[in-house]
Amino acid sequence: MPPDAKAGPRPMARKAPAVLLVPSAVVVAAVLVALRLHIQPPTVPRYDLAIAGAPYGADPGKEIPLTRGGRLEIDLRPEAGITGAVGARGFLLRGDEVRAWDPPFSVAIDGVVRIAGTVDELFAGVPPGPWEVAVAVGRPEVLPTAPRDVLRRRSEDPVRAGWHLVHARVRLSE
């Protein structure tokens, strides 16, 4: 028997599985990313806001009065068809002040986000006065959590983005 036969498998033979697994893993990852981008594109269309059935886009400067004990319904509708998961995260803005706002919402299969409830429930603990209701709508994994992201997007909203900020001015009564 030759002396190198007892030494075990050659070093190249031990590396063969790794040499085959790494390219296979890269191919599988590329296929999964391609499928993800096809099934759920990373961007979402812009959203339009309607409060209590009246389109808000007609007069964006109008302040909407909200009375305690009243009811509020907000619909956020995508401007175009949407596929994949959609989430929403609410914020209340006053000047440079940003407060997290966690209203209950539902998302329909066509991407429409609905926030509905009584003003008392939706704005519990919020002081009266003027507020800007800002709702970030988009892919759940990229929704903003930092106040500076919301303030930055407040004045500029790109056409193609992972999330869009939709906002309305309201005045909470005493």
**How does pLDDT run across 4-17, given as a tens digit for each residue?**
555 555 665 666 67
> Which has the closest alpha carbon to 74: 108, 114, 103?
114
Which CATH fold topology does 47-172 show? Immunoglobulin-like (2.60.40)
Q: Regarding predicted confidence, which is higher, 103 or 34? A: 103
User: Residue 41: is its pLDDT beyond 70?
Assistant: no
Confidence of residue 40 (pLDDT cuts 50, 70, 90): low
CA distance 162 to 138: 6
CB 47 within 8 Å of CB 110: no
Taking residues 153-157, what's their average pLDDT? 76
CA distance 48 to 85: 18
Query: 6-15, 31-40, 94-103, 160-169: lowest mean pLDDT where?
Result: 31-40
Taking residues 71-85, what's their average pLDDT? 90
Mean pLDDT, all residues of the chain: 81
Please enumerate in sequence order all residues whose Cβ is within 8 A of that of 5, keeping only pairs 6 or more positions apart, or say none: none
CB 80 within 8 Å of CB 31: no
Taking residues 128-137, what's their average pLDDT? 94
Beta strand pairing call for 71-78 and 113-118: antiparallel
CA distance 17 to 130: 65
> Which has the closest alpha carbon to 133: 169, 97, 174?
169
What pLDDT is recorded for position 29?
Answer: 66
